[in-house]
C-alpha cells in the first residue's frame, strides 16, 4: 500500500474548478497521484479530445498539489488501484447513481482487497468536463485542427465510422447523433463527401461534371456548422496538373482525407461494374499520380487514400494486392478496396492477405453492396474505417416523394403531419433560430 497517497482519476478535457476542488480535498489525506485517462478511452466514449494526452498531462503536472501523473487506459479505475495500491481514492459523489455505478463498484472491490479507503466529496454542481468540451466544439474549430483530427482519431480508435453528408443540415444530424448501447455510446466519427450525392443533389450525372469549386463550396458550408473530420471522394482526381493545385485548396479548407480511385477516362459509377465501359489506370501512372499529390500538399496530416477498382473490373485479387503494394510504396496513406458484390468474400480475402504484409496501413471499405455485414466483422477482418457512402441522400428522396404524392392524392398536407418533422423541431434544430 502507498501510504499517504490519494488516487484521482481524471480526463480533463477541460480543466475546471471541480477538478481543483478534488485536488484540494485530496491533499488533506496525502500526495495526489493522478490517473489521466487515455485519448483512446475518451475517443471510444465521446470524441477525440481537443488536447491530446501529452498536452493534458503537462497541464495536470503543473497544478499545485499533484505529485505524479500516470496513464489510466480506460474509465475503469480498478486496474490502476490494483497496480499502485493507494491508501485513498477520491471521487465526486455523482458516481453513486447512473452509468458510473459499475465503476464505483469495481473501485470499491479493488480497494477492499488491501484495505484502501474511498473518499467521496460532493459533486461540483453546474459544471462538467463533457459539457465544457462540447461547448468548445460548438464554437467551431480551425481548419488546421479539423485537418489533423482524422489521424488523431485513427491513433486513438481501432475503428471509425463515416457517413455521407450532402448538405449542412444532414451534416448537423450526423454531428449531434448519439445512441447508448450495452457496449457504450455509438456515434459517427465524421463525414463522407460523395461525388455521387453531390452530383445527384444538383441533378447532374455522376461523371465528374461538377467542378471542384462547386464541391468545395458545399463542404465549406458543412464546415460552417460542424466540427468533425471529412473524407472527400475525388473520383479519379482529374488531370495531375489540376489535382496538384486542387489539393492545396482542399488542405486549406481543413479536409482530412481524399479518396482517389485508380480508373481513367470518363468516370462511370463503380457499382455499374463491367456493364459499362470502365478502364483501370496502369499501376505506374497511378503511382506517379499519388507521388504528385503527396509532393504538392503542404501538411502531412492530409491523408491520401487510394481506392482500388480491381474487383469492379474483374481483374482479380492478385492485381489488387500488386496495386496496393505499389500505391503504398508511392506514398499513399491508406487503401480502400471496392466491390459491387453482395457477398463480401473477395473483400475479406483481400483484407486477410493485405494484413500479412501491411499491419499498420489504414484499410477502408464501403459496404454498399455487401450491406449484411456488421461492423464487428469488419473490425475482425482488419478494417479501420467504414464509409456509409450515400444512405442519407437515398433516405431523403423516398421521403420527399412520399410527401409530395400524399399531398397530390389528398389535396392537403394533413395526412403526412405525423411522418414529417415539425416546424417547431426545425426551429429548435438550428442554433440561434429561436
| Active-site residue list | 206
The Cα 115–Cα 191 span in angstroms is 49
CB 50 within 8 A of CB 13: yes
Nearest one of 213, 258, 224, 230 to 165, comparing CA atoms: 230
Q: What contacts 24+ positions apart, CB below 8 Å, involve 361-364?
A: 361/328, 361/333, 361/334, 361/335, 362/154, 362/303, 362/305, 362/333, 362/334, 362/335, 363/334, 363/335, 363/336, 363/337, 364/259, 364/305, 364/334, 364/335, 364/336, 364/337
The Cα 361–Cα 385 span in angstroms is 11
Instruction: State the DSSP string of 388-434.
Output: E-SHHHHHHHHHHHHHHHHHHHHSSSGGGGGGS--HHHHHHHSTT--
Q: Which residues contact 280 (CB under 8 A, 6 or more apart)?
A: 262, 263, 264, 309, 310, 313, 315
- Phi and psi at residue 36, in whole multiples of 5°? -90, 120
Amino acid at each position: 500500500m502507498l501510504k499517504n497517497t490519494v488516487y484521482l482519476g481524471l480526463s480533463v478535457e477541460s480543466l475546471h474548478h471541480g477538478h481543483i476542488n478534488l485536488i484540494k480535498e485530496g491533499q488533506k489525506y496525502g500526495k495526489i497521484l493522478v490517473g489521466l485517462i487515455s485519448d483512446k478511452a475518451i475517443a471510444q466514449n465521446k470524441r477525440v479530445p481537443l488536447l491530446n494526452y501529452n498536452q493534458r498531462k503537462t497541464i495536470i503536472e503543473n497544478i499545485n498539489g499533484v505529485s505524479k501523473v500516470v496513464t489510466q487506459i480506460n474509465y475503469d479505475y480498478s486496474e490502476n488501484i490494483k497496480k499502485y495500491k493507494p491508501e485513498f481514492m477520491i471521487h465526486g459523489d455523482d458516481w453513486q447513481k447512473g452509468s458510473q455505478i459499475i465503476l464505483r463498484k469495481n473501485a470499491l472491490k479493488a480497494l477492499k482487497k488491501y484495505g484502501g479507503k474511498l473518499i467521496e466529496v460532493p459533486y461540483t454542481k453546474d459544471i462538467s468536463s463533457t459539457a465544457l468540451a462540447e461547448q468548445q466544439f460548438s464554437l467551431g474549430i480551425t481548419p488546421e485542427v479539423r485537418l489533423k483530427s482524422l489521424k488523431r482519431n485513427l491513433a486513438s480508435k481501432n475503428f471509425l465510422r463515416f457517413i455521407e453528408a450532402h448538405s449542412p443540415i444532414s451534416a448537423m444530424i450526423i454531428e449531434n447523433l448519439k445512441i447508448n448501447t450495452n457496449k457504450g455510446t455509438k456515434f459517427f466519427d465524421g463525414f463522407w463527401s460523395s461525388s455521387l450525392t453531390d452530383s445527384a443533389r444538383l441533378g447532374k450525372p455522376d461523371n465528374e461534371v461538377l467542378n471542384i469549386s462547386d464541391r468545395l463550396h458545399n463542404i465549406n458550408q458543412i464546415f460552417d456548422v460542424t466540427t468533425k473530420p471529412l473524407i472527400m471522394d475525388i473520383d479519379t482526381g482529374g488531370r495531375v496538373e489540376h489535382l496538384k493545385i486542387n489539393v492545396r485548396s482542399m488542405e486549406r479548407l481543413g479536409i482530412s482525407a481524399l479518396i482517389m480511385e485508380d480508373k481513367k477516362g470518363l468516370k462511370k459509377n463503380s457499382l455499374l461494374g463491367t456493364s459499362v465501359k470502365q478502364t483501370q489506370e496502369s499501376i505506374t501512372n497511378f503511382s506517379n499520380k499519388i507521388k504528385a499529390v503527396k509532393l504538392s500538399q503542404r501538411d502531412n496530416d492530409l491523408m491520401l487514400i487510394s481506392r482500388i477498382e480491381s474487383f469492379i473490373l474483374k481483374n482479380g485479387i492478385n492485381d489488387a494486392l500488386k496495386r496496393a503494394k505499389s500505391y503504398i510504396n508511392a506514398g499513399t496513406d491508406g487503401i480502400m478496396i471496392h466491390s459491387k458484390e453482395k457477398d463480401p468474400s473477395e473483400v475479406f480475402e483481400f483484407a486477410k492477405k493485405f494484413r500479412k504484409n501491411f499491419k499498420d496501413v489504414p484499410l477502408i471499405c464501403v459496404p454498399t453492396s455487401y450491406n449484411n455485414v456488421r461492423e464487428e466483422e469488419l473490425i475482425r477482418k482488419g478494417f479501420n474505417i467504414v464509409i456509409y457512402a450515400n444512405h442519407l441522400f437515398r433516405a431523403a428522396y423516398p421521403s420527399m416523394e412520399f410527401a409530395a404524392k400524399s399531398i397530390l392524392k389528398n389535396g392537403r398536407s394533413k395526412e403526412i403531419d405525423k411522418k414529417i418533422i415539425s416546424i417547431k423541431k426545425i426551429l429548435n434544430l438550428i442554433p440561434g433560430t429561436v
